[in-house]
Amino acid sequence: MSTAHRVAVVTGASQGIGAGIVQAFRDRNCRVVATSRSIKPAADENVVTIQGDVAAPETAENVFRAALERFGRIDTLVNNAGIFMAKPFTAYSQDDYAAYISTNVTGFFHMTRRALELMSKQNHGHIVTITTSLVDQPMSGVPSALASLTKGGLNAATRALAIEYAKTGIRVNAVSAGIIKTPMHPVEAHQALAALHPLGRMGEISDIVDAVVYLDGAGFVTGEILHVDGGQAAGHHMA
């Protein structure tokens, strides 16, 4: 299938990894519908931006309506929106828990359900979700059980949906990220965060973007949790 008219939906698209993914799809001449709470209108006529909370069902409705009205189809959904707070488990508040569930899980549910409905009518499509390798290799220095609770669920759902939809022409994958150099992490913490990876560096936004682009073109890959984490998921290392 030609990439000339492919259409991708990207959540959490206003900055960091999400903005990098939007740019990568545009570099490949794909049309993009980009959404986040704070996203601004795009100067590019082939990018439609939709402001909204990914946890709200109407956001998914608005996003996919815009994709169909403007571009007529939907080929790829990138579930990038997510939150991360490293805290001891008993320090998490009810509000923290609610925020994790709404963004990481409820957002995935609404966006993925709507995408699958549309992709099923087309008999093709690809869904890729950004998760974390802390699911596979927790670290005592980065207490983040709510990330594991929510993102681990997304890994499991990725495999389940890959099997459920395997006969329909729809693929479902995930990118399991290490700690990526984004505005979320202050520069003064970079050295310590780099040491948490066996390769001795933090990931770059381009590392995750490259993985998403690979999976999007890998027609024989589904149900894959692709670790892009500097070796974190492989096992323990001496920092």
- Residue 214's nearest CA partner among 136, 135, 128 is 128
**Is residue 235 a part of any domain in this protein?**
no
Number of folded domains that form the chain: 1
Residue 60 is assigned to a structural domain of this protein: yes
User: In this model, does residue 4 exceed pLDDT 50?
Assistant: no
Q: Can you give the pLDDT at residue 11?
A: 98
Q: Does 1 fall in a domain?
A: no
Q: Supply the pLDDT for residue 216.
A: 98
| Domain contains 225 | yes
| Residue at 238 is within a domain | no
Strand partners, 31: 7
pLDDT grade, residue 3 (50/70/90)?
Answer: very low
pLDDT band at 141 (very low <50, low <70, confident <90, very high): confident
Domain range for 150 is 7-229
pLDDT in tens, 60-115: 999 999 999 999 999 999 999 999 999 999 999 999 999 999 999 999 999 999 99
pLDDT digits (tens, 9 = 90+) for 181-198: 987 788 998 999 999 999
Task: Give mean pLDDT, residues 5-21.
Answer: 95
**CA 219 – CA 208 distance, rounded (Å):** 19
**What is the pLDDT at residue 184?**
79
pLDDT of residue 66: 96
Contact 100, 83 (CB under 8 A): yes
Q: How confident is the model at residue 118 (pLDDT cuts 50, 70, 90)?
A: very high
What average pLDDT does range 34-62 have in this prediction?
96
Residue 20: the pLDDT is 97
Main-chain phi, psi angles of 156, to 5 degrees: -65, -40
CATH number, domain containing residue 84: 3.40.50.720
Query: Cβ contacts of residue 144 below 8 Å, gap of 6+?
Result: 84, 85, 86, 87, 132, 134, 138
- Residue 2, in any domain of the structure: no
pLDDT in tens, 154-213: 999 999 999 999 999 999 999 999 999 987 788 998 999 999 999 999 999 999 999 999
This prediction has a pTM of 0.95
* pLDDT at residue 1 tops 50: no
Decide if 234 is inside a domain. Answer: no
Which pLDDT score is estimated for 171?
98
Instruction: For residue 192, give the H/E element and its range.
Output: helix 190-194
pLDDT of res. 2: 45
pLDDT in the model for residue 140: 87
Residues 6+ apart with CB under 8 A from 104: 82, 83, 147, 150, 151, 154
Average pLDDT over all residues of the chain:
94
In a domain, 237, yes or no: no
Q: Give the C-alpha separation, 103 to 179, whole Å.
A: 19
Q: Would you place residue 239 in the very low, low, confident or very high pLDDT band (cuts 50, 70, 90)?
A: low
Instruction: Provide, rounded to the nearest whole percent, the portion of the chain with pLDDT above 90.
Output: 90
